Structure 1
Amino acid sequence: MISSFLKIVICFLLLTNTSVFSQSQKKSWTIKTRIQHGVEYDNNIEESRDFAQSDGLMKLVLNSKLKYFQNKWFVQLNYHGGMQYYFASQFENKFSHDFSGAVSYWQSRRIRIGGNFHTRLKAYSRRNWDYFLTDYETFISFPFSRSELTFYYTLQGLNYLSYDQFDFGVNKFAMAFQTKLGKYNTIRLKGCLQNINFVRYALSYDPQLEEILIKGQKQKDKNSYFSFQWRYQKKWLLSTEYLYQKNRSNSYGFSYQFHRITLSAATHFKMGLLMRLFAGLQRKKYAEALDKLIVTELDSERERSNFVILDFSKDLTGHLSALIRLSYYYNESPIPGRYYRKSLSSFSLEYRF
């Protein structure tokens, strides 16, 4: 696992050598890379509700961004790789590779078209939970005055390499409206409708037999959400978002609705200290009484329900920073309606070039 990750690191370090570009290209291409290495304490390594086990771990993160600007074109390619190596609990070792990108073209002053993609490979050293997550999005945007109206169409898919009962495909339509209010405030409204088609068969619950039965049809969900976001940027960078989501499913245990509020804040203090705060609060209600246990997912880290994350970082040199992160989670587990608690504390050094 470590050798595979190091090969990716070496490839991207070679990529960031700007000498491969000609002098004329340097005006259009920009590359930024950061490497983060640190240690972390995890008080609930398996995200268990009742039997929490703690362990320390070493983590390594590589992030590289490549941007291109020229006339009406904008292109961005990103790589984010991460590795976690636990000191005692080797079965929890894992790594991930995230590739993403964006391209946009100004058709005219009032029309912008483009697309985004994201692909994730997450692999476990001693579990057969490896999976691919893919996301492809196209959009058309209409800027006017201080506002912008955008329409999106997205295809998404999840594919576990050793299982198929958790795999799904998504067709998503969305619309967003964004406008600036004054010099420092921005608001954004977004609505989305999506169809989620699972590979697995739908379930039903028979209260008389007290058994879960398998239907003769595949699980199909209809999901919709609405969000309102406000951003403020001056001395502080503030952002808050309210989101309402509703999911209707033909399978037992998958119909729900929830309200979520998230907050992020960042500011610089004296002596070069940067503080960042991220917090989220969610209230979720299921349409059915969950009398039987079902498993909806293997990777519990994909769900973030309620959380508080606090970062402090300080530049030691022009390229080197120290980072302390404290976080607390109260997340829904892969079993619907059951929550677990988890706290993390970490110290890292980050090198940027």
Structure 2
Amino acid sequence: MRIGVPKEIKNHEYRIGLVPAAVVELVKRGHEVWVEHDAGTSINLHDQDYQQAGARIVNDAEAIYADANMIVKVKEPQANECKMLQRGQILFAYLHLAPDPEQTRDLVASGASCIAYETVTDLRGRLPLLAPMSEVAGRLSIQIGAHCLEKSTGGSGVLLGGVPGVAPGKIVIIGGGVVGYNAARVAVGFGARVIVLDRNLEALGHLDELFGSQIETVYSSPDSIRRQLVDADLAIGSVLIPGAAAPKLVTREHLRQMQPGSVVVDVAIDQGGCFETSHPTTHDHPTFIEENIVHYCVTNMPGAVARTSAFALNQATLPFVLRLADDNLEALRKDEHLRRGLNVHRGLVTYEEVALAHGYDHVPPLQALQR
């Protein structure tokens, strides 16, 4: 199979779909890898590194989309990239289609088989290709929130760790999954007061066992969220319903009761966000102020630490890339967990939550793959 790796073109996105070590594995198995010129330069992965790994360097994305059997990316294809996709190609990337009707429409029109990293599962029902970026985003959310609390960025001027004689800041983490755990881990290191809310008692129990008295765990409800946010300095939104739009758990009224200059970091923004007032932002303009609250809603947060993120992502995606390269679409028929990643196939919407979100008929993946 010929695998194409185009340069990412989303705002300040420096990650790359395959690192040189992954290319070596594919080439060993007899596959071709085409990498766009300078696709990894921003994270110190140069064309020479890819050539030594066995890749062919091509000058532009058009050549890759024209001739590759599978496109391996990081972020969702932008509108002009969707137009270059071809019927019969495989696209393997983060897609986040539920809040994105335009991209869904374009991928349906392309006729490609589009597999979303974020809905591939494992034997325990977890999301192994979302997990590494959730780990990065969770840890980064506290670092970013701390910066946004500085007065120069519009924040209230609170130091999360406090100092002797001055109380530390309060961090409220909504969602105790992978993002929430990693956010809590860094928040504890900052010396802040940390509260984690979740509706899953097993998740709360696990966090309680891990952190003990270093954090507080609270059952999540509209009232408990409201009460915890009133005096929060930083709120992290880390709610996930796989493949579906994030629920709006924090309302505008909640924000009106918070202290001016407090900060919210909506890690769920890729799936539409879990704060009512959220809208997507970029690394160029990462924040905005609504209801006197600083909002950080960048849709590719891990891109801020692109080198770490690229290597972490590749560790998780490579086994699936190898499977697709070796077996093409037969890999989806053989592996139900990889098949859960199939969102769009040759003009059909195969992921139920995406179909419901945008009014398409849902065609189950196995049924779609027979066409």
After TM superposition, the score normalised by the length of structure 1 is 0.27
Highest RCO, 1 vs 2 (Cα 8 Å, sep ≥ 6): 2
* Rg (Cα) greater in structure: 1
Larger strand proportion of the pair: 1
Higher helix share: 2
